[in-house]
């Protein structure tokens, strides 16, 4: 959606290694925002993005108008996403992932890619898009790529440009909390509720962030782990931790496989 950074560059470079031609699409999709103010405030830097893509020798930039993407006006379609869209982040942002699926389906129809590369910072989004691709007879192939982080551990995001220096430094506490959880689970039979309290304390100690949610779910199904007292290392499936927090008005998300 623009305001490109090193995380996007990592997707492009991987695609260039694996594909003959690489197209980058930039389109800020209005129907995936729950609040119009968030849509209006989404960072944009067209000139910078074009220069960024030229430096990477991208084959083509597709930067359509809303009329090209939605000739009949922006309307959310409803896809059978096996409830992947209603869990976790979907509970906090009703309709968000249907809006994402709608625009991605439209872009796939227009561009007809063989492969599509997405960063795993938006872990649930990647799972939703994989389901969308399965509806489309596995076309295109969806490639999930690792999170690229700042030197302090903060997951790279276009929204980071809205953070001041103090907030950006404090936001490193999110990844510290995720790494703390991974370490604790390896050493102790830690139940989720106790772990959440300690993780919140780490993030709040930064003095700049307010935790919205800390959730544990199974990595494949995204089913929430609801038992507050059953240690997280007792399950025979990998466990993903999802964090959302606010630095001022900026909402930050991150995730990590902790078990």
Q: Which residues carry out catalysis?
A: 8
Please list, in sequence order, all residues whose beta carbon lies within 8 angstroms of the beta carbon of residue 208, skipping any fewer than 6 positions away. 166, 167, 170, 171, 247, 248
Quick check: 169 and 207 in contact, CB under 8 A?
no
Question: Which 3-state string (H, E, C) describes the chain?
Answer: CCCCCHHHHHHHHHHHHHCCCCEEECCCCHHHCCCHHHHHHCCCCHHHHHHHHHHCCCCEEECCCHHHHCCCCCCCCCCCCCCCCCCCHHHHCCCHHHHHHHHHHHHHHHHCCCEEEEEHHHHHHHHHHHHHHHHCCCCCEEEEECCCECCCCCECCHHHHHCCHHHHHHCHHHHHHHHHHHHHHHHCCCCHHHHHHHHHHHHHCCCCEEEEEEEEEECCCCCECCCCCCCHHHCCCCEEEEEEEEECCEEEEEEEECC
Residue 89, token pair as written in the block: 């982040």
């Amino acid at each position: 959606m623009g305001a490109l950074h090193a995380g996007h560059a990592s997707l492009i470079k991987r695609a260039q290694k694996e594909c003959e031609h690489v197209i980058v699409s930039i389109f800020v999709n209005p129907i995936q925002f729950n609040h119009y103010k968030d849509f209006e405030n989404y960072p944009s830097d067209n000139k910078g993005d074009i220069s960024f893509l030229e430096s990477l020798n991208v084959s083509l930039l597709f930067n359509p108008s809303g009329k090209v993407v939605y000739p009949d006006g922006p309307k959310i379609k409803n896809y059978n996403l096996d409830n992947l869209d209603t869990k976790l982040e979907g509970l906090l942002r009703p309709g968000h992932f249907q809006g994402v699926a709608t625009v991605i389906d439209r872009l796939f129809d227009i561009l007809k890619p063989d492969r599509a590369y997405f960063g795993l910072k938006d872990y649930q989004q990647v799972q939703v898009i994989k389901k969308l691709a399965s509806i489309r007879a596995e076309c295109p192939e969806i490639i999930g790529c690792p999170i690229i982080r700042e030197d302090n551990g903060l997951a790279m995001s276009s929204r980071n440009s809205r953070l001041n220096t103090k907030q950006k430094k404090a936001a490193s506490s999110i990844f510290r909390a995720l790494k703390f959880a991974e370490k604790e689970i390896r050493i102790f039979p830690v139940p989720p509720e106790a772990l959440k309290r300690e993780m919140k304390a780490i993030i709040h100690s930064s003095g700049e962030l307010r935790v919205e949610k800390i959730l544990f779910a199974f990595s494949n199904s995204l089913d929430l782990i609801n038992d507050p007292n059953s240690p997280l290392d007792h399950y025979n499936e990998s466990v993903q931790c999802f964090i959302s927090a606010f630095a001022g008005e900026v909402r930050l998300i991150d995730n990590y496989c902790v078990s």
